[in-house]
Amino acid sequence: MKREETIRIEKLSIGYQGRHSVKTVAEGISDSIHSGELTCLLGENGAGKSTLLRTLSGFLPPISGEITILGKPLRSYSERELATVIGVVLTERTNLQNMTVTELVGMGRSPYTGFWGRLSAQDRRKVDEALSLVGIPSLRDRMVQTLSDGERQKVMIAKALAQETPIIFLDEPTAFLDYPSKVEVLNLLGRLSREMGKTIFLSTHDLELALRVADRVWLMTKQGTVQAGLPENLFIDPETGRFHFL
Amino acid sequence: MKRSVATGMILLGVSILVLFFLNLLLGSVSVPAGQVWKILWGGEVDNTIWQNIILKSRFPQALTALVAGAGLSVAGLQMQTVFRNPLAGPSVLGVSSGASLGVAFVVLLSGRLGGVALSRLGYMGELAMTVSAIIGALAIMLLIVWVAQKVRGNVTLLIIGVMIGYVATAIIGVLKFFSAEEDVRAYVVWGLGSFARVSGGQVMSFVLIMAILLPLSFLLVKTLNLLLLGDGYARNLGLNVRRARMWVIVSAGVLVAIVTAYCGPISFLGLAVPHLCRGIFRTSDHRILMPASLLAGASLALLCNLIARMPGFEGALPVNSVTALIGAPVVAVVLFKRRKEDMGE
């Protein structure tokens, strides 16, 4: 799969704007994210990883700077357009009851369905494809509330695949998972980016695993800086215990 | 799966027909079933008293119960989904308190200020009560919609709604304190809720309004399904969450306002029926839950009305007591079951 710049970020400042005050979480972020690559966002708790992801997803307006998605400014996308470009997997745990896995993954087709949200034969085929890509066709008739955390995470990834967006953002997809599931989910995401040419950008705490699967790593510090580089260039400063790129 | 849904819907539909007929058949005066059937189809019956009882009392009452139950249940379902809270019901945003406030103003203040107790004005008084209830409920609903645009969190909105309800209740308390005894009594009777109060002429306007509003509320099924996923996912799938939330509140609010205006506050149906339907159909898909709630609500309201009018009670049981007696165990069972499921995880 060819590597192309899908997301360009220029002099981006992120944070929260109140009526009278602005709380900047990070600033001066400039980099690009590419298709066919798995990019991992690393950083301590409270460094602002979720804020960055929320800003890139269009949930939160940037304080300043420019985000360009597929050659078009993020702010010029309508909600509907954006739904076909960016798919997300969030940390918010949905308290869904009485919904089957197929139905939930089918919700990913919403941007393409009509007024009543009825799935066409083609939509159902896309749902089946998404389930097999993630390797969970056997879960298709299970109720969502009976799934384990790992299974649920895979279902949400299948939902994002059914959404057929070139870009997928995942906020802490490995949190709450046991070690084998973490490995499985990250390998799955790496494979999806390389084989399907998706742009996958995720935040995680699992440094070691991330360094093993990531094509590119972003490092976010509590001081509000973001550095990016190749995983093999990331080093620990023996004196301060901090990470930095060579 | 598909077939069981169709079967369920048909069973609910049949139960409505049966209960509707039982509502016409049973009561303090016994009318033979054959005669009831004949009267219903406009046949000539020699006993005009029977004809009057069926056409002027039982038929409007059954029709009111059917439509009110459907409206409250659909509104309850919408509220539970938009707030992602199993305990949300049609009354939760203070909309029914708003209706009560409107009625309280008219009933309690008119005697005080105008010197004429509206409650004793017959048809005009009835109309004034209905109109004031609608105005009160819609005013509170607009306030809530305005707040909904300002605050982001669902829980905040829910709490503000409950607070507005308390304020309305407090104002009613003050009004009651300064009112004449018979006016307070008239207000209390209204507050008990009843399917019987709506008179023949008003029933048609009530049914007509609801026949327009209920189909309109169905336009929100895709929105409601997306809202189930939570704000983040819903938004990512192209939904304008703020606008969606507003429309759902408007839809549920207007339904509750109209029903409350005509029948007084009817509790529990709107809270219990959606839970019942989720349990029966084992789904959270609103394309199934909306019609199911509509049918089950209509059916349950007819059942409650029937029980309230059982021989022996002779209309002495207020409908609200019956809905609570049926509704409370349903809610309790659902919550117990959910707790068990949570512990099982």
Mean pLDDT, rounded, for B78-101:
84
Q: Using one digit for the tens of pLDDT, what is the confidence trace for B24-36?
A: 888 777 788 888 8
pLDDT at B342: 55
Is A94 in Cβ contact with B236 (below 8 Å)? no
Q: Which residues of A touch B230 (CB under 8 A)?
A: 90, 92, 94
Give the Cα-Cα-Cα angle A69, A74, A77 (nearest 5 degrees): 105
pLDDT at A1: 53
Is A59 in Cβ contact with B237 (below 8 Å)? no
pLDDT at B276: 87
What is the torsional sign of CA B13, B15, B17, B23? negative
Q: Where are the beta strands (DSSP E) in chain B?
A: none
Is B285 in Cβ contact with A88 (below 8 Å)? no
For B100, phi and psi rounded to 5 degrees?
-60, -40
Contact B85/B73 with Cβ under 8 angstroms? no
- Rounded CA gap, B298 and B102, in Å? 26
Q: Which residues of A touch B278 (CB under 8 A)?
A: 97-98
Nearest to A117 among B225, B232, B345 (CB): B225
Q: Using one digit for the tens of pLDDT, what is the confidence trace for A178-209?
A: 899 899 999 999 999 999 999 999 999 888 89
Quick one: CATH architecture of B92-265? Orthogonal Bundle (1.10)
pLDDT at A36: 93
pTM of the shown model? 0.89
- pLDDT-based confidence at A8, cuts 50/70/90? very high
Query: Which two tokens mark B342?
Result: 């949570």
Q: Find the closest chain A residue to B283 by CA distance.
A: A98
- Rounded CA gap, A215 and A194, in Å? 10
B331 has pLDDT over 90: no
Q: Which residues of B touch A118 (CB under 8 A)?
A: 287
Strand partners, A37: A199
- Pick among 3.40.50.300, 3.40.50.261, 3.40.50.1000, 3.40.1360.10: CATH of A34-58+78-245: 3.40.50.300
Q: Does B221 touch chain A (CB under 8 A)?
A: yes
State the smallest CA–CA distance between residue A152 and chain B in angstroms. Answer: 13
Q: Which residues of A touch B285 (CB under 8 A)?
A: 99, 103
Give the Cα-Cα-Cα angle A149, A150, A152 (nearest 5 degrees): 65
State the smallest CA–CA distance between residue A117 and chain B in angstroms. Answer: 5
Q: Does A103 touch chain B (CB under 8 A)?
A: yes
- Cβ contacts below 8 Å, chain A against chain B, sum to 78
B37 has pLDDT over 80: yes
Contact A116/B223 with Cβ under 8 angstroms? no
What is the torsional sign of CA A102, A108, A112, A113? positive
Cα B246 to chain centroid distance, Å, stands at: 20
State the smallest CA–CA distance between residue A58 and chain B in angstroms. Answer: 9
- Rounded CA gap, A175 and A169, in Å? 15
Alpha-carbon dihedral angle through residues B80, B86, B87, B91, given to the nearest 10 degrees: 10
Q: Does A145 touch chain B (CB under 8 A)?
A: yes
Q: Using one digit for the tens of pLDDT, what is the confidence trace for A57-113?
A: 999 999 999 999 999 999 999 999 999 999 999 987 777 888 999 999 999 999 999
- Rounded CA gap, A221 and A241, in Å? 13
pLDDT at B119: 52
Grouping H, G, I as helix, E, B as strand and the rest as coil, residue B37 is helix
Q: Residue window 259-318, chain B: list those with CB within 8 Å of chain A.
A: 278, 282-285, 287
Q: Using one digit for the tens of pLDDT, what is the confidence trace for B246-272?
A: 999 899 999 998 999 888 888 888 988
**DSSP H or E stretch at residue A64:** strand A64-69
Domains of chain B, by residue range, sit at 1-77+268-345, 92-265
- What ipTM is given for this predicted complex? 0.92
Identity of residue B222: K
- pLDDT-based confidence at B345, cuts 50/70/90? very low
**DSSP H or E stretch at residue A30:** strand A22-34
Q: Find the closest chain A residue to B344 by CA distance.
A: A146
Residue carrying the six token digits 């029966």: B280
- Rounded CA gap, B287 and B220, in Å? 10
Q: Using one digit for the tens of pLDDT, what is the confidence trace for B124-153?
A: 777 788 888 889 988 888 888 888 888 877
- Rounded CA gap, B11 and A105, in Å? 30
B315 has pLDDT over 70: no
- Rounded CA gap, B27 and B24, in Å? 8
Nearest to A86 among B225, B232, B236 (CB): B236
- pLDDT-based confidence at B118, cuts 50/70/90? low
Mind giving me the DSSP string for A65-126?
A: EEEEETTEEGGG--HHHHHTTEEEE-SSPP---S-BHHHHHHHTTGGGS-TT----HHHHHH
Residue of B85, B227, B282, B341 lying closest to A146 (CA atoms): B341
- pLDDT-based confidence at B115, cuts 50/70/90? low
Q: Which residues of B touch A82 (CB under 8 A)?
A: 236, 238
- pLDDT-based confidence at B123, cuts 50/70/90? low
Grouping H, G, I as helix, E, B as strand and the rest as coil, residue A231 is helix
Mind giving me the DSSP string for B189-239?
A: HHHH--SSSS-HHHHHHHHHHHHHHHHHHGGGHHHHHHHHT-HHHHHHTT-
- The one-character DSSP state at B279 is H
Q: Does B240 touch chain A (CB under 8 A)?
A: yes
Which percentage of chain A shows pLDDT scores above 90? 68
Q: Find the closest chain B residue to A169 by CA distance.
A: B236
pLDDT mean across residues, chain A: 90
Is B228 in Cβ contact with A96 (below 8 Å)? yes
pLDDT mean across residues, chain B: 84
Q: Does A98 touch chain B (CB under 8 A)?
A: yes
Q: Does B87 touch chain A (CB under 8 A)?
A: no
State the smallest CA–CA distance between residue A163 and chain B in angstroms. Answer: 8
- Look at A16-20, A155-159, A165-169, A203-207 and tell me which has the smallest mean pLDDT: A16-20
Residue of A137, A134, A175, A140 lying closest to A157 (CA atoms): A134
pLDDT at B120: 57
Contact A158/A133 with Cβ under 8 angstroms? yes
- Look at A34-38, A104-108, A214-218, B332-336 and tell me which has the smallest mean pLDDT: B332-336
Is B221 in Cβ contact with A116 (below 8 Å)? yes
Q: Using one digit for the tens of pLDDT, what is the confidence trace for B162-209?
A: 888 889 889 988 988 888 787 888 788 888 888 887 777 788 889 999
Give the Cα-Cα-Cα angle B235, B239, B245 (nearest 5 degrees): 95
